[in-house]
């Protein structure tokens, strides 16, 4: 502390060394003592304030540190609990995934073993599952159709529009039952199936696609077509039989007429249309047998035309035939319907009078 004409100062000095450590000079500094005191007082006040602030800050920091440490402990506990929860969730997820894989495997096995052709499709019409009976029916393996549009893969062009319409109905949640699908497999083998389409619905209720189940009726349809063909053949054969029956009936009718005509010709005289001698023999036998033992009389007359030979010689046989026919007509007119008039031969006639005694027969003979 120095005082001179300039005022009171606080002075300080320090040596200056060279590179060898020798003192080569000195440096000094003077500070105004009054200003220094004021500044020192201000510094002390500031230091007090700073100490108070530092103390408060340390208290705040300590409290904050305590709170932070507590919060950190809580956070770590929550983190531990969350980690344990995550581990439990992960474990449950693993179990769920394992069960899901088992379920998927079981579904695939069951789906594959369904004894009818079945496949599923998503909303875009892509095949998602394809069972063994589909492989047999269509001739395509699962890896050849899965994730491909089934209307482009397994359906022929002529059936594509129908299946697209059916797929659209399934996507809308509607089922399609028992429509007949006739097509050909990749090897060209024809098949006929009854198709049923059902929508696949998620737990949320939204449609995720559809499942197609086919009942193979190829053999049935083949048998049905065979039966239809046989029925057509049977119908043709039946019509032929009916025609043959009709022809046979016509032939039988003609034959009956011919037989009747033959019997007529065998029993009837062709010129006079009276019964002939052949018929008379059979008739008389029957008449005798029928009246035997009943004392029923029967009369028989013999009639001839006098000088008939001279008639034929003078006028010819044609004129003689006219006379024979005229006499026959006269005899029929003079007898009863129950009487039998016979041309016995040449110009001779015979008349059988059943149920007629001699006296009555003489009356008819005179007539």
Non-local CB neighbours of 82 within 8 Å, separated by 6+ positions: none
Q: Is 327 helix (H, G, I), strand (E, B) or coil?
A: helix
pLDDT of residue 22: 86
Q: What is the pTM of this model?
A: 0.42
Q: CA-to-CA distance for 111 and 224, rounded, in angstroms?
A: 30
325 neighbors 275 (Cβ within 8 angstroms): no
For residue 78, what pLDDT is reported? 75
What per-residue confidence (pLDDT) applies to 305?
Answer: 93
Phi, psi of 141 (to 5 degrees): -75, 165
pLDDT digits (tens, 9 = 90+) for 164-202: 898 899 889 999 888 888 888 888 888 888 889 999 988
Q: What is the pLDDT of residue 40?
A: 62
Helices (H), the chain: 33-113, 132-138, 142-145, 150-153, 157-171, 218-267, 277-291, 308-315, 317-334, 358-366
Answer yes or no: are the C-beta atoms of 211 and 238 closer than 8 Å.
Answer: no
pLDDT in tens, 99-134: 767 766 666 666 777 888 999 999 999 999 999 888
Q: Mapping DSSP to helix (H, G, I), strand (E, B) and coil, where does residue 216 land? A: strand
Structure tokens at 213: 């189940």
Helix or strand run (H / E) with residue 172 = none
Q: Could you tell me which of 104, 138, 120 has the C-alpha nearest to residue 198?
A: 120
Distances in Å between the alpha carbon of 148 and those of 127, 145, 264? 6, 5, 90
* Average pLDDT along the chain: 82
Q: What is the pLDDT of residue 349?
A: 95
pLDDT at residue number 341: 93
- Residues of the chain scoring pLDDT < 70: 1, 4-7, 9, 30-44, 46-65, 67-68, 72, 100, 103-110
pLDDT score recorded for residue 199: 92
Q: Count Cα neighbours of 78 within 13 Å in the Cβ-side half-sphere.
A: 6
What does the alpha-carbon distance between residue 187 and residue 180 come to, in Å, rounded to a whole number?
Answer: 21
């Amino acid at each position: 502390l120095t005082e001179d004409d300039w005022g009171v100062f606080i002075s300080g000095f320090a040596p200056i060394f060279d590179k060898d450590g020798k003192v080569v000079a000195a440096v000094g500094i003077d500070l105004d003592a009054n200003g220094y005191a004021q500044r020192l007082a201000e510094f002390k006040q500031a230091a007090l304030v700073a100490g108070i602030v530092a103390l408060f800050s340390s208290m705040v920091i300590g409290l904050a540190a305590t709170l932070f440490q507590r919060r950190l402990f809580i956070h770590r506990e929550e983190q531990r609990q969350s980690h344990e929860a995550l581990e439990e969730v992960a474990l449950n997820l693993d179990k769920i995934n394992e069960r899901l894989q088992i379920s998927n495997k079981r579904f695939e096995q069951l789906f594959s073993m369904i004894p009818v052709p079945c496949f599923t499709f998503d909303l875009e019409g892509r095949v998602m599952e394809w069972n063994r009976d589909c492989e047999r029916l269509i001739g395509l393996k699962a890896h050849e159709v899965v994730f491909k549009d089934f209307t482009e893969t397994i359906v022929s062009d002529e059936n594509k529009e129908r299946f697209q319409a059916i797929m659209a109905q399934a996507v809308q949640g509607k089922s399609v039952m028992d429509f007949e699908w006739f097509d050909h497999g990749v090897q060209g083998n024809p098949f006929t199936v009854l198709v049923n389409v059902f929508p696949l619905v998620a737990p949320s209720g939204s449609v995720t696609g559809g499942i197609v189940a086919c009942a193979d009726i190829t053999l049935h349809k083949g048998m049905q077509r065979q039966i239809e063909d046989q029925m057509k053949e049977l119908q043709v054969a039946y019509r032929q039989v009916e025609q043959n029956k009709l022809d046979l009936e016509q032939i039988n009718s003609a034959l009956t007429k011919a037989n009747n005509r033959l019997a007529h010709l065998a029993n009837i005289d062709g010129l006079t249309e009276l019964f002939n001698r052949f018929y008379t023999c059979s008739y008389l036998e029957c008449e005798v047998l029928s009246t035997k033992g009943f004392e029923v009389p029967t009369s028989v007359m013999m009639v001839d035309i006098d000088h008939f030979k001279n008639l034929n010689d003078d006028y010819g046989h044609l004129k003689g035939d006219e006379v024979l026919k005229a006499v026959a007509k006269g005899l029929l007119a003079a007898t009863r319907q129950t009487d039998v008039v016979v041309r016995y031969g040449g110009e001779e006639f015979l008349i059988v009078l059943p149920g007629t005694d001699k006296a009555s027969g003489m009356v008819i003979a005179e007539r």
